[in-house]
Structure 1
């Protein structure tokens, strides 16, 4: 097995000025569906999941465990704020572009007015 020059890619974003009326901000089923669809479209593999809504329009937190690593999301509709965390391993295959596709798809789904991004190459 050929090992790539780094073991993984970690993408983190803070999404600000997100419309609180977007269903995925408060509805567990919608948030989960947006995440699952984005993962599948990016060509990554879901092996586990956990989502929780805080009720009374207070937000959703969720994680998808991927064969390649993970996706985590947290929403705060009252603040118009979402955090995203995507990590993929690159031991066997370089999954970096798939991670970036997933990341951009989720950012687009929430349509933030401002995005803070961070990209870290894990060794």
Structure 2
């Protein structure tokens, strides 16, 4: 195992516009899709927390050995905020973060309103 001195990992923050209202209120679709992401990219889940609000929007946080994936939806605005961070402890996960972000953009059929990448 190689320990990376710098950067510690890539943190991507996305604000997305989503036309498909159901994707913003059906939490099970997001959770199921994220489980497939974890398998596809060999990521290890250590916990999950979620909540569905009165307007059916949801928030979900997957805590990973490698860090986290979180989402918050606003169906009334057709927007969501997505947060993906993977550390580079055992390998460089930079491209993996970018690929995961693109997979979510495709899943939601989303238009990027804002995207920020932070090298930790």
TM-score by length of 1: 0.86
Per-residue deviation, residues 31-72 of structure 1 (Å, max 9, x unmatched): 21122222322222111101111144x311000011100000
1:121 Cα deviation from its structure 2 partner? 0.6
Structure 2: how far apart are the matches of 1:86 and 1:59?
A: 19
Corresponding residue for 1:109? 107
In structure 2, distance between residues paired with 1:44 and 1:102: 11
Given that 1:49 and 1:62 are in contact with CA atoms closer than 8 Å, whether structure 2 keeps it comes out as yes
In 1: Cα distance, 2:12 partner to 2:105 partner: 12
Q: How many residues align?
A: 119
What SS does the corresponding residue of 1:92 show, helix, strand or coil? coil
The CA RMSD measured in Å over matched residues stands at: 1.6
Q: 1:102 to 1:114 in 2, by over 3 A?
A: closer
| Unpaired stretches in structure 2, ≥5 consecutive residues | none
Q: Separation in 2 of the partners of 1:101 and 1:88?
A: 12
Give how far 1:30 is off: 1.5
Matched, 1:15 2:16: yes
Alignment of 1:1-123 (within 5 A): 2-4=2-4, 5-16=6-17, 18-21=18-21, 23-56=22-55, 58-122=56-120
Structure 1: tracts of 5 or more residues without a match: none
SS at match of 2:46: strand
Shift in Å, 1:104: 1.0
